[in-house]
């Protein structure tokens, strides 16, 4: 027999599929364990070897848990809505639903390009996914439930008294009975008070406008990141260095009417919940910083010659007498109102310039100082002195109130701003309010050992005393109050895209109305063009059938809109994070047509026990998922407060890029060792053109691009062209991608799985080196030789030796501990040690090799299944109990002692560990080698430490 991985793996993958080996049950008597991977976005590029790293780790863990007797749910699906598919459709003239389907299932696209397909690639690696629960977020039977959740959010408000979301009907009842004066809700800031009589007298439209100020998803004019090149709003994490991550287009700040999610209502619960989950401290800290809890005060500064005032949140109200100027965000709504005619042109130019910088860019740029004086002045709450009002892009409209009271003596950024504009109109001298502190060179930001000075009634107080006293004074004059603030902003939920979930919303007189849940899903319509319309409407503005017939409850032709019974539908779509904010629950009951999951399924699975995915989602998906889960818990749908008990972040597998070196200004390429100080341009070349000796296949390179076909090459003395190497992110653009398909075809999936786990600790980034994979392949062949040779099975019924049992049980212990600790790389090392030991011992005993197949099966499941079958067992190895550890086989019964003479070791002797000193001495002294060494002499002293040393002295 011969180890043929392709034949073996195809056989067992078919067996698993035919027998639904990994199908989880929702009503099992076994304890449950839910293992989840962050599901992939199905791009046309398919998988490279970096993508499966986390999937292999979760699969090892899932298979191990099945061996332990758990009912394991290990599902997979696709996050299949999103901007990349839409952009690809625009560029190639294809429908995004077609390209998405081909990218998942495989096939040939419109351009004739053969797409392997994610499903086939994943199956080839031998994952134990329950494919019967597959989800695709772009399928109507899935996003029907996303639309339903959106409706629940719309029909809810956050009651701060009960600290949970409640049905909007309870709020309406309060309004009808007593008005809104005593309502303690998370809502818009500009709420006007009304009585019950006033509420009941309001027209229906007025009531709906008021309720929008309280709903958990609402329409509001919001500052957004607008990308003209993509024709859509982008989230902060979709922008890199001021341009769109997709396409590199400029992004500007713009006010638009958008759907938003009131995630800020859950700020404190999101913060506190981090204490109850087993996540890495770095991810928790990222979320804590993003939520950004601050304790301080709200202060109102009245504007001179105006009825308006500027509200400021500050964590240092004790420094209020040090306010030297105020700074507003350029987008602040008061800027246009307060700017004087003399400053108008300068202010408008600055606002236009600032709009081209993203929020992230402005936050990160601490070196650039810029701003403009508005010409307006505010009034100090206590001294009544005038305070100049500036605008500056270091203040963001979406954070706090979009305004700061600048205290240069106590804040480095304010200090730098004041000194930069020192002597200019509108910039007074810096006020120092700290006793015995020199601020001539820098601000004093510490709160410790502080004595307030030049501050009227705060003089002589420390930070805590001054803070308490000033808040009381502000409340007394009606110009402030103590407050807890959060940096977390409500999440914009609208996208001006086509390829996303349609909102279940139509508009009557400009006000949003929800479509009844029984009529869902509202299916994405066909459009001819995926670009915005000529008048700037989102792509759905191109749809000819996109209006809601409120009588017949169906989508009809857009031309039929009469605003009487047929109304316009929402033209925006939901963002990419809509479908991914609840998908783990759908896996629990994936085929339920009536609800996103039954109560029974939710009660059984509860939440995810282990979640594996990238750390780059810390302040995106991982935060939004927690928010939606908490909301669904409030409404009685989710069984737990947190969705993911334990989170592991896998590191990145890096590519080994290859470079050729072109002489500048020529089409001549110089081999790496022939550069010798010449000016060369390093250019990426496809790693598939390079062999293990770093030699470039010149003919393949010439065919790579048209402009290379006539290139000349200066080679090494041996006629070979040697490339340069560098470790980088694995990416198609760097031509350093290695596909798992190629590895599986050449070496088999078990080799790929073992090698990826062997590369290093799961959480760390590590470079891929295909040259190292042959060693793992060789290990699997050596494993097989324990079981069979060219003539067939060689396993015997012989009793195992002590050494055999020790090797096996050492491996059982190590592998079990490693999997529980997610130290998968050291398990692979242990397998290699074990197989080497058993080979040396010439072990072919069934009592050893049968349990060994089970132990290795989570890592190399195909060969394990084959060996299990060859041993005469029926059924799959996947659910066989993991071998029990017997510690007695690990206890050392004897010891190989070094025998020394006057401190120099001359030979070793193997002796039982239970011998006494006297017994050891007797055996050693009678040994022929001792007699020879002593040569008739008698040692002065025999030193024996049982279990350690034997030394004969003198």
pLDDT tens track for 828-851: 999 999 999 999 999 999 999 999
Percentage of the chain surpassing pLDDT 90?
Answer: 85
Residue 320 near residue 379, CB atoms below 8 Å? no
**How far apart, in whole angstroms, are the C-alpha atoms of residue 10 and residue 7?**
5
CB neighbours (10 Å) of residue 218? 22
Sorted by sequence, the CB contacts under 8 Å of residue 191 that are 6+ apart come out as 180, 213
* pLDDT (mean) for 739-767: 96
* Residue 462 burial by Cβ neighbours in a 10 Å radius (0-12, 13-18, 19+): middle
**How far apart, in whole angstroms, are the C-alpha atoms of residue 578 and residue 492?**
11
- Of 490, 631, 507, 496, which Cα lies nearest the Cα of 575? 496
Radius of gyration of the chain (CA): 35
**How far apart, in whole angstroms, are the C-alpha atoms of residue 175 and residue 197?**
9
What is the pLDDT, as a whole number, of residue 237?
A: 66
Residue 751 near residue 776, CB atoms below 8 Å? yes
What is the pLDDT, as a whole number, of residue 239?
A: 79
CB neighbours (10 Å) of residue 457? 13
b or e along 753-764 (b: 16 or more beta carbons within 10 Å of the residue's beta carbon)?
bbbbbbbeebee
Residue 359 has pLDDT above 80, yes or no: no
Residue 383 has pLDDT above 80, yes or no: yes
Residue 613 has pLDDT above 90, yes or no: yes
- Of 729, 738, 635, 754, which Cα lies nearest the Cα of 690? 738
* pLDDT (mean) for 303-331: 95
Q: What is the mean pLDDT of the chain?
A: 94
What is the pLDDT, as a whole number, of residue 323?
A: 98
Residue 156 has pLDDT above 80, yes or no: yes
Show the tokens assigned to 770.
Answer: 């295909």
**How far apart, in whole angstroms, are the C-alpha atoms of residue 596 and residue 587?**
9
Per-residue pLDDT tens digits for 780-827? 999 999 999 999 999 999 999 999 999 999 999 999 999 999 999 999
* Residue 221 burial by Cβ neighbours in a 10 Å radius (0-12, 13-18, 19+): exposed
Sorted by sequence, the CB contacts under 8 Å of residue 886 that are 6+ apart come out as 805, 809
**Kind and range of the H or E run holding 317:** none
Q: What does the H/E/C string look like for 358-419? A: CHHHHHHCCCCCCCEEEEEEEECCCCCCEEEEEECCCCCCCCCCCEEEECHHHCHHHHHHHH
Sorted by sequence, the CB contacts under 8 Å of residue 834 that are 6+ apart come out as 807, 808, 810, 811, 852
CA distances from 269 to 274, 399, 647, 704 (A): 9, 19, 19, 55
Residue 408 near residue 442, CB atoms below 8 Å? no
Beta bridge mates, 945: 949
**How far apart, in whole angstroms, are the C-alpha atoms of residue 471 and residue 481?**
6
| Residue that has been written with the tokens 């994070």 in this structure | 577
- Of 387, 390, 429, 432, which Cα lies nearest the Cα of 409? 432
**How far apart, in whole angstroms, are the C-alpha atoms of residue 311 and residue 298?**
7
Residue 357 has pLDDT above 90, yes or no: no
Through-space distance between the first and last CA atoms of the chain, rounded to whole angstroms: 61
Per-residue pLDDT tens digits for 521-580? 999 999 988 888 877 789 999 999 999 999 999 999 999 999 999 999 999 999 999 999
* pLDDT (mean) for 694-701: 96
**How far apart, in whole angstroms, are the C-alpha atoms of residue 794 and residue 772?**
30
Beta strand spans in 439-534 (E)? 480-486, 491-492, 505-508, 511-514
Sorted by sequence, the CB contacts under 8 Å of residue 209 that are 6+ apart come out as 511
3-state secondary structure of 557: coil
Residue 318 near residue 466, CB atoms below 8 Å? yes
Show the tokens assigned to 953.
Answer: 């002295």
What is the pLDDT, as a whole number, of residue 267?
A: 98
Residue 57 near residue 127, CB atoms below 8 Å? no
Per-residue pLDDT tens digits for 32-57? 999 999 999 998 778 999 999 999 99
**How far apart, in whole angstroms, are the C-alpha atoms of residue 83 and residue 499?**
7
CB neighbours (10 Å) of residue 525? 16
Q: What pTM value is reported for the model?
A: 0.87
3-state secondary structure of 215: strand
Which has more confidence, 197 or 361?
A: 197
**Kind and range of the H or E run holding 117:** none
Helical residues (DSSP H) of 365-506, grouped into ranges: 412-420, 463-477
Q: In this structure, what are the phi and psi dihedrals at residue 556, rounded to the nearest 5 degrees?
A: -130, 180
As separate numbers, helices (DSSP H) first and strands (DSSP E) second, the chain gives 30, 39
**How far apart, in whole angstroms, are the C-alpha atoms of residue 80 and residue 143?**
11
3-state secondary structure of 300: strand
Residue 113 has pLDDT above 90, yes or no: no
What is the pLDDT, as a whole number, of residue 23?
A: 98
Sign of torsion over alpha carbons 12, 17, 18, 24: positive
* pLDDT (mean) for 135-140: 98
Show the tokens assigned to 150.
Answer: 């959106």
What is the pLDDT, as a whole number, of residue 364?
A: 74
- Of 618, 485, 495, 487, which Cα lies nearest the Cα of 224? 495
Beta bridge mates, 685: 658
* Residue 492 burial by Cβ neighbours in a 10 Å radius (0-12, 13-18, 19+): buried
Residue 250 near residue 242, CB atoms below 8 Å? yes
Going by their DSSP bridges, the two strands 566-568 and 547-549 should be labelled as: antiparallel
pLDDT band, very low/low/confident/very high, at 914 (cuts 50, 70, 90): confident
**How far apart, in whole angstroms, are the C-alpha atoms of residue 814 and residue 878?**
20
**How far apart, in whole angstroms, are the C-alpha atoms of residue 255 and residue 226?**
9
- Of 664, 500, 627, which Cα lies nearest the Cα of 137? 500
């Amino acid at each position: 027999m011969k180890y043929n991985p392709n034949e073996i793996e195809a056989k067992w993958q078919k067996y698993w599929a035919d027998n639904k080996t990994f199908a989880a049950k929702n009503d099992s008597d076994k304890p449950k364990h839910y293992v989840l991977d962050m599901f992939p976005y199905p791009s046309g590029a398919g998988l490279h070897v970096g993508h499966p790293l986390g999937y292999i780790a979760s699969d090892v863990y899932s298979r191990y848990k099945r061996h332990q007797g758990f009912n394991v749910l290990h599902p997979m699906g696709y996050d299949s809505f999103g901007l990349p598919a839409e952009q690809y459709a625009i560029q190639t003239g294809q429908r995004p639903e077609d390209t998405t389907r081909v990218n998942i299932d495989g096939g040939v696209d419109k351009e004739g390009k053969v797409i392997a397909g994610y499903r086939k690639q994943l199956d080839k690696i031998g994952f134990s996914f329950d494919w019967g629960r597959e989800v695709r977020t772009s399928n109507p039977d899935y996003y029907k439930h996303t639309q339903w959740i959106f409706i629940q959010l719309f029909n809810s408000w956050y009651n701060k008294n009960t600290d949970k979301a409640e049905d909007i009907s309870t709020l309406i009842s309060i309004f009808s009975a007593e008005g809104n004066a005593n309502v303690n809700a998370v809502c818009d800031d500009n709420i006007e008070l009304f009585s019950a009589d006033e509420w009941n007298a309001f027209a229906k439209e007025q009531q709906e406008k008021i309720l929008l100020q309280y709903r958990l998803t609402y329409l509001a004019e919001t500052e957004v990141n607008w990308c003209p090149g993509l024709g859509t709003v982008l989230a902060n994490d979709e922008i890199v260095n001021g341009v769109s991550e997709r396409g590199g287009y400029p992004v500007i700040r713009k006010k638009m009417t958008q759907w938003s999610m009131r995630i800020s209502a859950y700020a404190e619960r999101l913060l506190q919940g981090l204490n109850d989950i087993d996540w890495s401290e770095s991810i928790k800290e990222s979320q804590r910083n993003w939520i950004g809890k601050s304790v301080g005060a709200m202060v109102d500064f009245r504007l001179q010659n105006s009825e308006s005032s500027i509200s400021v949140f500050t964590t240092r109200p004790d420094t209020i007498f040090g306010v030297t100027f105020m700074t507003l965000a350029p987008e602040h709504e008061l800027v246009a109102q307060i700017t004087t005619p003399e400053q108008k042109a300068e202010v408008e130019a600055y606002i236009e310039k600032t709009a081209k910088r993203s929020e992230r860019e402005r936050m990160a740029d601490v070196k650039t100082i810029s701003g403009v004086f508005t010409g307006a002045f505010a009034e100090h709450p206590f001294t009544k002195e005038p305070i100049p009002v500036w605008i500056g892009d270091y203040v963001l409209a979406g954070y706090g109130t979009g305004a700061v009271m600048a205290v240069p003596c106590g804040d480095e950024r304010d200090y730098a701003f004041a000194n930069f504009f020192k002597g200019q109109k509108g910039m007074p001298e810096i006020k120092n309010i700290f006793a015995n502190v020199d601020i001539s060179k820098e601000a004093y930001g510490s709160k410790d050992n502080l004595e307030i000075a030049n501050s009227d009634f705060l003089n002589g107080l420390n930070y805590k005393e001054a803070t308490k006293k000033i808040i009381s004074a502000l409340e007394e004059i009606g110009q402030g109050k103590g407050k807890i603030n959060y940096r977390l902003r409500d999440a914009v939920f609208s996208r001006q895209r086509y390829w996303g979930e349609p909102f279940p919303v139509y508009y009557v007189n400009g006000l949003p109305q929800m479509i009844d849940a029984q009529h869902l899903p509202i299916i994405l319509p066909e459009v001819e063009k995926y670009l915005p319309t000529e008048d700037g409407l989102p792509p759905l503005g191109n749809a000819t059938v996109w209006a809601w017939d409120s009588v017949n409850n169906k989508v009809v032709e857009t031309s039929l809109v009469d605003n009487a019974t047929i109304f316009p539908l929402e033209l925006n779509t939901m963002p990419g994070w809509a479908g991914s904010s609840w998908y783990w629950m759908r896996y629990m009951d994936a085929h339920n047509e009536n609800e996103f999951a039954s109560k029974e399924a939710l009660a059984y699975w509860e939440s995810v026990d282990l979640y594996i995915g990238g750390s780059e989602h810390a302040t995106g998906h991982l935060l939004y998922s927690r928010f939606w889960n908490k909301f669904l818990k409030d409404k009685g749908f989710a069984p737990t407060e947190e969705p993911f008990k334990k989170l592991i972040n896998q590191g990145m597998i890096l590519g080994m890029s290859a470079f050729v070196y072109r002489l500048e200004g020529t089409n001549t390429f110089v081999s790496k060792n022939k550069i010798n100080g010449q000016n060369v341009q390093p250019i990426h070349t496809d790693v598939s053109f390079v062999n293990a000796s770093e030699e470039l296949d010149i003919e393949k390179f010439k065919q790579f691009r048209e402009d290379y076909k006539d290139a000349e090459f200066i080679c090494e003395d041996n006629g070979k062209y040697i490339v340069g190497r560098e470790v980088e992110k694995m990416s198609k653009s760097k031509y350093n991608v290695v596909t798992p398909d190629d590895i599986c075809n050449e070496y088999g999936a078990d080799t790929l799985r073992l090698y990826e786990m062997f590369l290093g600790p799961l959480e760390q980034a590590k470079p891929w080196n295909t040259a190292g994979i042959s060693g793992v392949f060789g290990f699997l062949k050596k494993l097989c030789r324990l079981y069979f040779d060219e003539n067939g099975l060689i396993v015997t019924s012989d009793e195992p030796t002590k050494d055999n049992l020790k090797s096996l049980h050492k491996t059982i212990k190590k592998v079990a501990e490693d999997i529980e600790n997610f130290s998968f790389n050291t398990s692979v090392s242990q397998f290699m040690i074990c197989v080497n030991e058993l080979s040396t011992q010439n072990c072919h005993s069934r009592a050893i090799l049968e349990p060994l197949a089970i132990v290795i099966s989570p890592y190399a499941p195909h060969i394990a299944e084959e060996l299990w079958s060859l041993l005469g067992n029926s059924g799959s190895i996947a659910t066989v109990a993991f071998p029990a550890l017997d510690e007695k086989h690990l206890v050392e019964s004897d010891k190989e002692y070094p025998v020394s003479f006057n401190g120099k070791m001359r030979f070793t002797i193997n002796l039982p560990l239970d011998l006494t000193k006297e017994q050891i001495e007797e055996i050693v002294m009678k040994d022929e080698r001792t007699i020879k060494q002593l040569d008739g002499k008698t040692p002065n002293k025999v030193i024996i430490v049982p279990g350690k040393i034997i030394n004969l002295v003198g």
